[in-house]
Amino acid sequence: MSLYVMKFGGSSVGDIERMQRVARRIVEKQDEGHQCVVVVSAMGDTTDDLIDQAMLLNPNPPAREMDMLMTTGEQISMSLLSMAIHQLGRNAVSLTGWQAGFRTEPVHGKARIMDIIPDRVIGALQEGNIVIVAGFQGMTEEGEITTLGRGGSDTTAVALAAAINADVCEIYTDVDGIYSTDPRIVKCARKLEEISYDEMLELANLGAAVLHPRAVEYAKHHQVKLVVRSSFNYNEGTVVKEETSMEQGVVVSGIAYDKNVARISILGVEDVPGVLATVFGALAGAGINVDIIVQSGVQDGKADFSFTTSLSESGQALQVIKDLRSTLPYREVTSEDNLVKVSIVGAGMISHPGVAAEMFDVISKQGVSIKMVSTSEIKTSCVIEGGNLEQVVRALHTAYNLDTDAQVFVGGPQDRR
């Protein structure tokens, strides 16, 4: 008997019919002789609808009350799914995140897991139950309800799998695995049989939405075997694990993109020690994440440099820079927001020189200018104009021999695109 953690996202439990399909899928897993712990997200657009209602009442709602509100979405899913499983003649028990033993830091909206005490989950399993756990939520030592932020249900599933020593953590979604790029842009994208934690972490950080970076980090740290598969069919999924066998001839495993990019440039700064420390220290103090940093040449004792941040934080970042002007004089500050970051990722890049050069060549042949570049051992990222995203992704996908003749699967029979 193996112990499975099965996580179902919002699209998988988006309505009653889908909820019933998921219930049957779980019962089938139990019929195979396995113990099942299930983590669920809120149904469909429930979370967005709750946020919209909150904003109508208060455009700046208290963070604590937002967490109280947001956790109700997952609680609806867990209880309905438990009812559906009971209807199939099986025993199931639903647990909130705090009932399942999730203890978090005292931060609302994006709390990190500090500890998991899964005694109640284990006890319910031993009594023969299928255990349904609400994702995305926990509780502080002081008894305050918290949420884990974006991708929190993925993180819940992986963390719980580690805490109860599950054999596998399966992430069910509306695609039947991890693809070489977004199958909505490239219809001939390649489904990967397996991918390493490091490659998946890079892809997730660079914009691939199928898994959240925090969940991948947790899986890598605790050596949790992850499988990403569809809740709408029984196709083999993609295995995420420590090491993978490199497919012959495939140096680049995937292409990711991020539309949430803004570039800020500070022009005419005195070229003296401590300038970068002052600027990026102030940004860090404001809780603003900075990605790519580029400094240009020095002329007449003045330097220019640029950095990227998320669109959602660019306004705050500009204000931080403007507030520094009295202590750190500069000629002007500019910003651009019609940008995207396109990245190639692959463990094979370490031992294959010229991969980045080929990326630059492919992009230039599309008539697209590269504004910024960032590299590591297994990835290269380029910031380009947003209007060129799809043509660049398709060209790169072809150039790195990732195109296939297979039909990409997205969603259920009624959701094929």
Give the pLDDT confidence of 127-164 residue by residue, as tens digits: 999 999 999 999 999 999 999 988 899 999 999 999 99
Residue 133 forms part of a structural domain = yes
- Range of 83's domain? 2-173
Residue 283 forms part of a structural domain = no
Give the 3-state DSSP-derived string for the chain, with helices as H, strands as E and coil as C.
Answer: CCEEEEEECCCCCCCHHHHHHHHHHHHHHHHCCCEEEEEECCCCCHHHHHHHHHHHHCCCCCHHHHHHHHHHHHHHHHHHHHHHHHHCCCCEEEECCCCCCEEECCCCCCCCEEEECCHHHHHHHHCCCEEEEECCEEECCCCCEEECCCCHHHHHHHHHHHHCCCCEEEEEECECCCECCCCCCCCCCCECCEEEHHHHHHHHHCCCCCCCHHHHHHHHHHCCCEEEEECCCCCCCEEEECCCCCCCCCCCCEEEEEEEEEEEEEEEEECCCCHHHHHHHHHHHCCCCCCCEEEEEEECCEEEEEEEECHHHHHHHHHHHHHCCCCCCCCEEEEEEEEEEEEEECHHHHHCCCHHHHHHHHHHHCCCCCCEEEEECCEEEEEEEHHHHHHHHHHHHHHCCCCCCCCCCECCHHHCC
CATH number of the domain to which 45 belongs: 3.40.1160.10
259 annotated to a ligand binding site? no
Residue 412 forms part of a structural domain = no
Residue 252 forms part of a structural domain = no
278 annotated to a ligand binding site? no
The number of domains in the chain is: 1
What confidence category does residue 413 fall into, taking pLDDT thresholds of 50, 70 and 90?
very low
8 annotated to a ligand binding site? yes
Residue 95 forms part of a structural domain = yes
Residue 348 forms part of a structural domain = no
Residue 231 forms part of a structural domain = no
What confidence category does residue 412 fall into, taking pLDDT thresholds of 50, 70 and 90?
low
14 annotated to a ligand binding site? no
pTM of the entire structure? 0.85
7 annotated to a ligand binding site? yes
Q: What is the pLDDT of residues 352-407, one digit of tens each?
A: 888 999 999 999 999 999 999 999 889 999 999 998 999 999 999 999 999 988 76
Residue 91 forms part of a structural domain = yes
